[in-house]
Copies of this chain bind each other. A is one copy, B any other.
Amino acid sequence: MHIKVAGTYIGKFGELWEQSLSDLLKEGLREVVKDAQLPEEAIEAIFVANKAAGSFNEQRHLGALASEQFAYQPPAMRIEGACASGGLAVAAAAQALMSGLYQTVLVVGVEKMTDVSSAVASAILATAASREKEYGSTFPALYSVLANYHMHHFGTTRRQLSEVVVQNHAHALNNPQAQFHKALTVEQVEASPLVADPLRLLDCSPISDGVAAVILTTRECSRQTTLLGFGQGQDTLALMDRADLGSLQATTRAAKQALARAGVTRQQIQAAEVHDCFSIAEILAAEDLGFFAKGEAAGNLTTDRSPVIFNPSGGLKACGHPVGATGVKQIAFLSREIESGRFDLALAHNVGGSGATAVVSILGKTT
């Protein structure tokens, strides 16, 4: 795959009361083109990642909304796969480039979630679950099942969940775009209100507004990051249909495919942006991506014993989780880190639902 990252943009994540969905989308398009130092006409197609603007903002057809921002009106489409929409849009864009029909495409992920109340947002998010929602299960409830299973079978402790949160908040202190710039202690995490036992408020990624964008190209490019490969795995929507609740198989499958396509080994990877929608999800990711044996990530992934740095951006937990933007932000953030020389090889991991879809992308310094 000879796909280079020609431009990146990550807007400020947070509760952006002054900006509409359309404002965020326009900001992402305008700023990523500026970052790539390309004329608008260089953008041959646009892929928009968004989960639920139809419900959050009464606006569908975001492809057309994106396209009309450019005088040339390039072809555009929206990709949705719940919280994995961003990763999927990058995959669709890469496939479009590999088809040879396009040489330069733009991927923009956007979500404006605070136009509705938290209760309504929660109900909208649950529409990515399956018939589980008929029993009233929300995503915190589903991930609490995974957390309880993990604690029971692998001895993962409440403190180890908290350590993940503490690390992500520490990382976010260095990320100006992060929603939270607030160092947390284990004690603070554990004093936060219980949401779905054992998960507490500070185990959960927030409701966020935000936009992120990347420009991908097969043309000559002065930037130094290449999308080396991507992979996609699926699993059942409902946890109750799975044989094993100890891991997310979609992640394992996606990682295997991505590494094979990229032609690199797991051992070469230095950083990973993983999908920590809840603290337990980061522990599962660290294991299912193969960085730790099952049951070994908790207590280790936040220490020097970890083979990679997890969630240098602060992750979904502390950087924020504007759903459609998250997968694109991961790619944009890691590209910048590679560009800055901090890492040479990094992995992005984006999950939809409670692990029904996973997308893994591998980014490396252009050689």
Q: Interface size class for chain A?
A: 35 or more
Query: In A79-135, which residues have CB < 8 Å from any B CB?
Result: 79-82, 88, 91-92, 94-101, 124, 127-130, 133
A250 to B, closest residue via Cβ:
B73
| Complex copy number for this chain | 2
Stretch at the interface among A47-55, A160-168, A186-194, A207-215: A47-55
Tell yes or no: A307 within 8 A of B by CB.
no
Residues of B within 8 A of A133 (CB): 58
Tell yes or no: A241 within 8 A of B by CB.
yes
Smallest beta-carbon distance A74→chain B, Å: 7
Stretch at the interface among A31-39, A63-71, A175-183, A275-283: A63-71
A47 to B, closest residue via Cβ:
B92
Stretch at the interface among A8-16, A230-238, A291-299, A309-317: A230-238
A91 CA to B76 CA in the complex, in Å?
11
Tell yes or no: A156 within 8 A of B by CB.
no
Main secondary structure of the interface of A (DSSP, over half): mixed
Residues of B within 8 A of A92 (CB): 77, 92, 95-96
Residues of B within 8 A of A58 (CB): 127, 133
Smallest beta-carbon distance A43→chain B, Å: 12
A129 CA to B58 CA in the complex, in Å?
9
Instruction: Please tell me if the beta carbons of A68 and B101 are within 8 angstroms of each other in the complex.
Output: no
Residues of B within 8 A of A62 (CB): 80
Query: With A55-B54, A68-B235, A235-B68 as given contacts, are A80 and B78 in contact (CB-CB < 8 Å)?
Result: yes
Instruction: Please tell me if the beta carbons of B352 and A54 are within 8 angstroms of each other in the complex.
Output: no
Instruction: Please tell me if the beta carbons of B124 and A54 are within 8 angstroms of each other in the complex.
Output: yes
Residues of B within 8 A of A64 (CB): 81-82, 234-235, 237, 352-353, 356-357
Instruction: Please tell me if the beta carbons of A67 and B234 are within 8 angstroms of each other in the complex.
Output: yes
A244 CA to B265 CA in the complex, in Å?
56
Given contact pairs A61-B356, A77-B81, A79-B79, enumerate 12 new A-B contacts (beta carbons under 8 Å). A58-B133, A59-B127, A61-B128, A63-B80, A63-B81, A63-B88, A64-B353, A64-B356, A67-B234, A75-B232, A92-B95, A95-B99
| 8 CB < 8 A contacts A-B | A61-B127, A61-B129, A64-B234, A64-B353, A65-B130, A65-B237, A73-B233, A95-B101
